[in-house]
Amino acid sequence: MVVVGMWLHRKDMRLAGKPVPLVIDLSRAQDRRILGYFTGGSVLFLMVTAIGSYYSYQFTESVEFCGKACHIVMEPEQVTYQHSPHARVSCVECHIGPGAEWFVKAKLSGLYQVYAYAFDKFPRPVPTPIKNLRPAQDTCEHCHWPEKFSGDIVRSYTHFLSDATNTEYSLRVMLKVGGANPRRGPVAGIHWHVSKDHKVEYLATDEKRLQIPWVRLTTKDGQVTEFRSPSFTNAVNPADVRVMDCIDCHNRPAHIYKKPNDAVDLALALGTIDRGLLSVRSNATYLLTQPYASVAEAMTAIASGMEERYPGDDRVKPAVAALQQIYRENFFPAMRATWREYPEHIGHKDWPGCVRCHDDNHPSADGQKNIGFKDCHTCHEILSQGAGPDLMNLTPGGQEFNHPLEPYDPEFKCHDCHTGGP
């Protein structure tokens, strides 16, 4: 502004026929005063800008900004994140990570997102996976040490059948998570995949990475084993190959869209939905999964649907409240986001998950090995299953899985029948 001002002034003077030489004479009081104002003003201006940019930097890195600035678009991610184990980790710690390079990348892609939001050009739902997600070494591994030895972890899975009496069928499963550092325990078990001593790579042939026909294992001594589904005969383009990391199993650490079956099972176990209501498991999952145009429509339909099925029963009111809350936290009609759009890669019951590779149909080139599923004991031991006393009786060595209603037919995979919904 100073330079422009000077230029305009000189131009005016020249037009008026009196050219002015540029003289700054600090012996003149006026010049000293002007210099004083200029220096003081500049310092103040720089300070305000610095503080301002610091706060705008802080703001654009905040959960508020990422999750709420463009309300509808990020609502599903924001809400599901708030109910995840990472609710206190900020979005940028997983999506940007430290360093200037990714900061700039994120701000550039942010510019496109502002445009897409302003002109309503965004996809509904937001597609998954994120193609240029920063590798887990630079994000997850800032907090999680990949070499940690986790050993065996026992988990309970609470389920109910969709029969008239809502029969419980729960499981206690000991997962052999193991570890990836030979000095802390055997490099074995589920976390074996991420050991630094070898590399597991794969090729997915679909957008959502649900079809994995080709896998390569490279050991520390350079030995390479290729596993390939017999029906996949294409050449492998090295650019499409992905090195397996945390995200290939833990792809929903923050945005957990509860499956309606699991959400209702939890409510039944907690008693927020009364187990005594006949067929309530099947009615509740049905009502949750109808195609509603808005949350408001779903709220009314869930309430009237339950009243209709259990007229005059005073156990309905709390059940309706529980179902409405499940809906609000896991279904987002405005963005068409539900568990169906967001596969979860851990496990193998409702989504292919581990079975994308572990399907007994990935023989190695020499035919000596196969990535297996049939041997259930590779990954876990079922300690107990069923309900009541059966569920209390633990078998440390593991039991064979006793599929409810009908024996499990190993010709099928679990996700051929189970989808997480009714």
Please give the residues from 145 up to 184 whose contact with ligand HEC meets the rule CB under 6 A: 146, 148, 150, 153, 155, 157, 159, 161-163, 169, 171, 173, 175, 177
Residue 369 near ligand HEC by CB under 6 A: yes
Site for ligand HEC, residues 298 to 357, rule: CB under 6 A: 342, 346-349, 353-354, 356-357
Count of chain residues binding ligand HEC (CB under 6 A):
94
How far is the CA of 161 from the CAs of 158, 283, 287, 324, in angstroms?
Answer: 10, 12, 16, 21
Q: Cβ neighbours of residue 36 under 8 Å, at least 6 residues apart?
A: none
Site for ligand HEC, residues 92 to 121, rule: CB under 6 A: 93-95
Nearer to ligand HEC, 161 or 295 (CB): 161
Q: Of these, 174, 273, 277, 414, which contacts ligand HEC (CB under 6 A)? A: 414
Q: With contacts defined by CB under 6 A, name the span among 31-39, 233-241, 326-334, 413-421 that binds ligand HEC.
A: 413-421
Residue 255 near ligand HEC by CB under 6 A: yes
Residue 256 near ligand HEC by CB under 6 A: no
Residue 246 near ligand HEC by CB under 6 A: yes
Q: With contacts defined by CB under 6 A, name the span among 112-120, 134-142, 271-279, 323-331 that binds ligand HEC.
A: 134-142
Is 369 within 8 Å of 326 (Cβ atoms)?
Answer: no
Site for ligand HEC, residues 206 to 235, rule: CB under 6 A: 212, 215, 217, 227
Site for ligand HEC, residues 5 to 34, rule: CB under 6 A: none
Is 291 within 8 Å of 178 (Cβ atoms)?
Answer: no
Residue 66 near ligand HEC by CB under 6 A: yes
- Rounded to the nearest whole angstrom, what is the least distance from the CB of residue 202 to ligand HEC in the complex? 4
Residue 421 near ligand HEC by CB under 6 A: no
User: What is the arrangement of strands in the sheet containing 380-386, beginning at the earlier edge strand?
Assistant: 151-157, 170-178, 380-386
DSSP for 96-110 reads T-SSHHHHHHHHHHH
Is 285 within 8 Å of 421 (Cβ atoms)?
Answer: yes
Calculate the dihedral angle through the C-alpha atoms of 50, 54, 55, 57, rounding to the nearest 10 degrees: 130
* Amino acid (1-letter code) at residue 135: P
Residue 136 near ligand HEC by CB under 6 A: yes
- Rounded to the nearest whole angstrom, what is the least distance from the CB of residue 46 to ligand HEC in the complex? 33
Structure tokens at 197: 């001593």
Is 244 within 8 Å of 195 (Cβ atoms)?
Answer: no
C-alpha distance across the termini of the chain, in Å? 68
> For residues 210 and 379, what is the distance between their CA atoms, to the nearest angstrom?
20
Residue 198 near ligand HEC by CB under 6 A: no
Q: With contacts defined by CB under 6 A, name the span among 23-31, 110-118, 191-199, 325-333 that binds ligand HEC.
A: 191-199
* Amino acid (1-letter code) at residue 277: L
Q: What are phi and psi of 178, to 5 degrees?
A: 65, -140
Site for ligand HEC, residues 377 to 406, rule: CB under 6 A: 378-380, 401, 403-405
